[in-house]
Amino acid sequence: MRTIRHFLAGVSVLAASGCAVISDLGANGLAENIENNAATLNDAHTRAMTTVIAMNVLRARDRWPTNYTTLSGIRSNPTLALGGRASLTPLGLGNSRLPFSGSSAEVSRNESANAEYSVNPFSNNDKTQSLLQPVQPQILESYWNAGWRKDILMWLFVDSITFAGSGASAFDGEQPWFVDGDEFGEDRKPEDIENLSRYREIMLQAEAGKVRFEKLAPDPQDVRNCDPLDLSWLLSMFGQRDETTAATVQAVESMTGRKVVFAPDNRSRASAETGLPADFRGRRVMLCDAAEVRWGFVDSATGRPLAAVRTRSFDDMIYFLGESMRNETAGVPNPIGGVILFRTYPDRGARQYAVRVEHAGEVHFIAPQSRSEGEPAALQDVTGSVLSLLNQLYLLAQSDEFLRAPEARLR
């Protein structure tokens, strides 16, 4: 009986030893592994996208063709294999004090994780043509209301700006000014200096909360492709009902998708016209294409339009940043309206850096918003904010929501 007890005790010790090793793979250990893997893969995905953006800025600087790739989410498939063996020595005779002294047990564990992802050219993805299309103004409006720096948004998003005039029609006869980077070079024209001054004044007012970005009210005089409305058709549709003008106009515009415009008409009327709504009599009714939808800056206090804008595409943003770097001299960045939108360093030095890029045989380090010794303190480096914004837009360009939900907000 004592021998049996020794045997059971020895087996219990071996089993306990095995359980002690296996318990390291419990819920807490598994959670930590998942947490570490997720953080590592997230960092890899962010670095890959940031590197693509930074490399294309350098290509645009050197007037090389830009090229973009899509990177799918990185997925890790961990596998786990457990194995073990035990070797028991014979009990022998008598009541040995250490009946299993020559026995041994081993438990082994093998873990592996294989990351899965795909890298594809943007041109192979039908969604990503949006990189070459103007960014929808609603996206700029969302960033504007979310509290991003207004000067960064205005430099990156605005391709051209039309300042409001003093006439009855705010933009009648006004020509757009293109914000393409040439106005910062040494050979800039006098009108560029004047327009740049007006644009920066709007930026300062925007930072002070005195300017809003929103959809501008349509100009009532901005109508085009007008056709006379068939009064017989109108009469057959509305009969002898005494509709109000507003209700009739709303119904006609809803059915036709065009805009109803009234004009004075002193011509003789047929007796059948008495069946028209009262407000239609003695007036000529035209169906016109709707006025162009404009977005721009308005005075927060009065609602007066200050300027209408056309937004850039994502690729235009990249090109503009490359243009801003093209006029650097001796490694000193060229400020755009008082800020450095994008800069790189030839070595890491003591700075933290966001990404390392190799381009044209040279290594570039992009450090978020730092200033080198000896540079003016007033020169603000906003590279980190610009990279963050471009990274978000790059992700949005690969989503269905970016293309199919123009009224969506980034909230």
206's CB contacts (< 8 A; 6+ apart) are 150, 151, 154, 213, 297
pTM of the complete model beyond 0.75: no
Instruction: Say whether both 6 and 95 belong to one domain.
Output: yes
Please name the amino acid found at residue 306.
L
Instruction: Say whether both 161 and 184 belong to one domain.
Output: yes
pLDDT for residue 12: 47
Q: What total number of domains does the chain contain?
A: 3
Instruction: Say whether both 139 and 285 belong to one domain.
Output: no
What burial class does residue 284 get, using C-beta atoms within 10 Å of its C-beta: 0-12 exposed, 13-18 middle, 19+ buried?
Answer: middle
> Which sign does the torsion angle of CA 394, 397, 183, 213 carry?
negative
- Decide if 105 contacts 86 (C-beta within 8 A): yes
Q: Is residue 295 part of a domain?
A: no
Instruction: Say whether both 325 and 205 belong to one domain.
Output: yes
What burial class does residue 68 get, using C-beta atoms within 10 Å of its C-beta: 0-12 exposed, 13-18 middle, 19+ buried?
Answer: buried
d(CA 300, CA 150): 15
Instruction: Say whether both 42 and 109 belong to one domain.
Output: yes
d(CA 278, CA 243): 8
pLDDT for residue 17: 40
d(CA 8, CA 77): 40
Q: Is residue 29 part of a domain?
A: yes
Please name the amino acid found at residue 129.
Q
- Domain encompassing residue 89: 2-124
Instruction: Say whether both 42 and 68 belong to one domain.
Output: yes
> Which sign does the torsion angle of CA 6, 11, 12, 16 carry?
positive
Instruction: Say whether both 20 and 118 belong to one domain.
Output: yes
Instruction: Say whether both 251 and 270 belong to one domain.
Output: yes
d(CA 204, CA 294): 22
Q: Is residue 107 part of a domain?
A: yes
Instruction: Say whether both 13 and 44 belong to one domain.
Output: yes
Q: First and final CA of the chain: distance in angstroms?
A: 74
DSSP, collapsed to helix, strand or coil, labels residue 283 as strand
Instruction: Say whether both 34 and 141 belong to one domain.
Output: no
Q: Which H or E run includes 393? A: helix 383-396
Q: Which tokens sit at 200?
A: 């920066």
Instruction: Say whether both 321 and 395 belong to one domain.
Output: yes
d(CA 213, CA 161): 13
Q: Would you give per-residue pLDDT tens digits along the chain (411 residues)? A: 544 444 444 444 444 343 334 445 556 766 777 788 788 888 888 888 899 999 999 999 999 999 888 877 777 666 666 666 767 666 555 656 666 566 666 666 666 666 777 777 776 555 546 788 889 899 999 999 999 999 999 999 999 999 988 766 677 778 899 988 766 666 677 788 888 889 999 999 999 999 999 998 876 666 667 888 776 676 666 654 555 667 777 777 777 777 787 777 665 554 445 555 666 666 777 888 777 788 999 999 999 999 999 999 999 999 999 988 887 766 667 778 778 899 888 888 777 777 889 998 999 988 766 555 555 555 788 888 999 999 999 888 776 554 443 443 333
pLDDT for residue 285: 79
Q: Is residue 237 part of a domain?
A: yes
Give the phi and the psi of residue 218 in degrees, each rounded to 5.
Answer: -65, 145
Instruction: Say whether both 144 and 120 belong to one domain.
Output: no
Give the phi and the psi of residue 397 in degrees, each rounded to 5.
Answer: -65, -15
Q: Is residue 338 part of a domain?
A: yes
Q: Is residue 43 part of a domain?
A: yes
